[in-house]
Amino acid sequence: MKFCPKCEARLKQDTSEKNSTCPKCGYSEKSTNQRKQVTVESKSTIDVLDENEPKETLPTIKIECEKCRHDEAVWWMLQTRSADEPTTQFYRCTKCSYTWRNYA
């Protein structure tokens, strides 16, 4: 509940215009309890493949590259998060280094 600072009459809340007005003297003030929008940035971790890149020599497999149609790629397996989830298989084209994943 708010009161007019000029004449101390009870202010009338205008919900549509989000301000309070004094019915006696016409004083008006903006409502302070407006909702503030909170934006939460969500980071995408799905497309970050370079961090999971193994350094050792990898086995190759005969598979067609989606990008350059080369027929050979190196591959490796990665367990994501928990053991309950299926292992993700990664492929990297030996020609253009294009990397993609396959859910086994």
85 part of the active site: yes
Is 71 assigned a catalytic role?
A: no
Q: For the window 49-78, what string marks contact with Zn ion as x by the rule CB under 5 A?
A: ----------------x-xx-x--------
| Distance (Å, whole) CA 93 – CA 58 | 12
* 8 A C-beta contact, residue 70 and residue 96: yes
Site string for Zn ion, 8-47 (x = CB under 5 A): -x------------x-xx-x--------------------
Of 6 and 85, nearer to Zn ion (C-beta) is 6
Nearest to 65 by CA among 55, 75, 79: 75
CA distance 94 to 103: 20
- The Cα–Cα gap between 74 and 61 comes to 6
- Enumerate the active-site residues: 84-85
Which positions touch Zn ion (CB under 5 A)? 4, 6-7, 9, 22, 24-25, 27, 65, 67-68, 70, 93, 95-96, 98
